[in-house]
Amino acid sequence: MLSIDLSFVWVAVNLLILYIFLRKFLFGRVGDFIDRRAAAIKADIDSGKAMMAEGEAYRRQQQDMLGAARAESAALLDEARGSAQRERDAIVSDAQRQASAILERARAEAAREQERAYGEIKAQAAALAILAASKVIEANMDTAQNKILVERFVNERP
């Protein structure tokens, strides 16, 4: 038969008292601590998710700003290229005008020089003709009349 020993009852009573004592003083506090810790972890997770969403929004904003900056730099570069092209065209045009003016002055100077040389050659030819004619004719005409005749002859262009 089964006999229940007094020590077994005593162990059972002690376990029951220990359980009641632990439940009253320890399990409640441990449960509260676990609940508070779980709430803190959930709050940290929610905060992390919010921070991730905020970070993603900030990243998108930065990408938008970077795209705008790239577009603006491209526009400024295009504007600078256009300005440089206009400046180059103006410089080339001015240089062409100056070159044309220099060339025109050189042509005018060459024409004046040619006319002066032609006049000198004409005067020398007239003097040589008079000298030759005076040697041939020797004394029948005076030199003033010879000059007039030779100048008339030289001025007549063929």
Which regions of 2-157 does DSSP assign to beta strands (E)? none
pTM for this entry: 0.42
139 band by pLDDT with thresholds 50, 70 and 90 = very low
Residue type for position 35:
D
Question: Would you say residue 2 lies in a domain?
Answer: no
Question: Would you say residue 147 lies in a domain?
Answer: yes
Residue 1's pLDDT is: 44
| pLDDT, tens digit, 9 for 90 and up, residues 66-96 | 999 999 999 999 999 999 999 999 999 999 9
The domain in which residue 62 lies consists of 7-155
Residue 16's pLDDT is: 95
pLDDT of 140 > 60? The answer is no
- Cα–Cα distance, 47 to 41 (Å, whole number): 10
Question: Would you say residue 1 lies in a domain?
Answer: no
Q: Is the dihedral of CA 35, 37, 41, 43 positive or negative?
A: positive
The tally of domains found in the chain comes to: 1
Residue 119's pLDDT is: 84
